Amino acid sequence: MMKISIRPVTLRRVVEILALSVKEGHVDPYAFSEKLQTTRRRMQEILLEIERMKFLVTKDNNLTLNKIAYDFLVAFNDERLEKMHDILLSNYCFYGTFIDAIQRNISNSGFTKSDLLRILKNSPTLNFNITAIEVLCDWAERLGVVQRNLFTNRYYLTKNSATLAEFILFLQTSYEELNIKPRPGLRQEYVEIVRLREDVCEKLKIKRETFDLLLTSVFKKAYGKIELCGAPITTIAKKSPTSLRKVKKSLKDSMLSSQFVCLKESRGIEINGKEYYYIAIFEPLR
């Protein structure tokens, strides 16, 4: 049996086409291709892939939106990214297989795109190539289900929480690993919080927001053992080598104004209204 291949389409384009369909009251491939400035052939390919996602059905020889599509748009409008993920997980074969593969293949670290391609290439019915992997990684990252280490480009599924004891253990370990010695007998002491966050999050599989909450808690409990430091306006501590991908809806009344942004600047941690970008741990926390 011949495997089916993905027709690459961005999450933004899916939302735009579904929103246009609601606005116009029907699916018009020719009008949509002009509106979104793409070829008619490319629009037909995109619509076929959206139909594969089970957002469109054929009625009287015309494509029309179904309830699943409306639920997806409502979830987007309400900024319920987890709901959008759930809908795709249940209805889009490529996305569901992709997420299932990451869940079944447990790893202490994350997965590179090459790792994911190796895991998924033996799918009996779906053809996973590097293009499919890139599309699905982008979708999952923007929906906040998968997180990517901005320094290593490894992907991993996130969980909601970690115990304070677990966090302290990995915080100390990662800090010591990143605390590079310029030469024998010397320690750098201060480590970039941006880099430390990425390392700890990957090891614990937690969201960046969870890291910030736990680090704030540890800092307040271990006063005197930890020192946080700010940074000049221009510093490498505020930059990451790759961009953070997010979904951001800009105008409340228009789904066509959605922004699928890439953020190059990474933030430090804010405590009591002050932003910090470096951390030094002077005594063992555990």
Label residue 114 exposed, middle or buried (CB < 10 Å: 0-12, 13-18, 19+).
exposed
Instruction: Tell me how far apart the alpha carbons of residues 166 and 161 are, in angstroms, rounded to a whole number.
Output: 10
pTM here? 0.85
Query: At 251, is the pLDDT very low, low, confident or very high (cuts 50, 70, 90)?
Result: very low
Residue entry with tokens 């990662």: 174
- pLDDT score at 249: 59
What lies within 8 Å, CB to CB, of 156 at 6+ separation is: 102, 107, 109, 110, 111, 146, 147, 148, 149, 202, 205
SS3 for 83-148 is HHHHHHHHHCHHHHHHHHHHHHCCCCCCECHHHHHHHHCCCCCEECCHHHHHHHHHHHHHCCCEEE
Predicted confidence (pLDDT) per residue in 118-135, tens digit = 999 989 999 999 999 999
Instruction: Tell me how far apart the alpha carbons of residues 112 and 120 are, in angstroms, rounded to a whole number.
Output: 12
Predicted confidence (pLDDT) per residue in 17-54, tens digit = 999 999 888 899 999 999 999 999 999 999 999 999 99
